[in-house]
Amino acid sequence: MPSFDIASSVDVQTLDNAVNVVKKEITNRFDFKAIHVLIELNKKDYVIKLESESEMKIQQIVDVLLSRSIKQGIDPSAFDFSKEAQPSGKIFKKDVLVKNGLKQEDAKKVVKLIKDSGLKVQAAIMDDIVRVTGKKIDDLQDVIATCRAGNLGFPLQFDNMKS
């Protein structure tokens, strides 16, 4: 039976490239000369640490990070900007979490979306992916279109298509 996997992951190397491009651009900008700026990627925990002298500068770094990440092919919904910048003495710090892998509640949203579509496919949650199987490849392609149109709030990749 044809099947494919729905995943939500970010390639570490692509993310690292995007962060390095942001570092290079920020250090070359005139408005960031002689200002403390720290942009650091924790590859293990998928956290980007930002530090600067004002909340406005942090927001400018976030804007550059978003634009450069989009150019690298990273979905902007992969970043969690919900935490506010926290003052720590004269420096503001902000941690940007990068969503990697489908959480259980996100996987349930995907399965519910597939079930509500009325297509004749089966969706099963397997750790951090959702495996979708069906009798026809056309049904699987309809599931992909439904998931893309669903606007679930997190990036989805469709991998491992087998017929």
Q: Which domain holds residue 23?
A: 12-98
* Final residue belonging to a domain, choices 66, 83, 98: 98
* Final residue belonging to a domain, choices 51, 73, 98: 98
Residues of the chain with pLDDT under 50: none
**Which pLDDT value is given to residue 96?**
92
Please tell me the total count of domains within the chain.
2
Stated as kind and residue range, the H or E segment containing 18 is: helix 12-28
Asked whether residue 32 falls in the same domain as residue 79, the answer is yes
Asked whether residue 110 falls in the same domain as residue 39, the answer is no
pLDDT by residue (tens digit) across 14-52?
999 999 999 999 999 898 888 899 999 999 999 999 999
Q: Are 52 and 22 in contact (CB under 8 A)?
A: no
User: What is the pTM (predicted TM-score) of this model?
Assistant: 0.81
Asked whether residue 57 falls in the same domain as residue 113, the answer is no
> How far is the CA of 31 from the CAs of 13, 17, 93, in angstroms?
29, 23, 18
Asked whether residue 142 falls in the same domain as residue 107, the answer is yes
**Which pLDDT value is given to residue 47?**
94
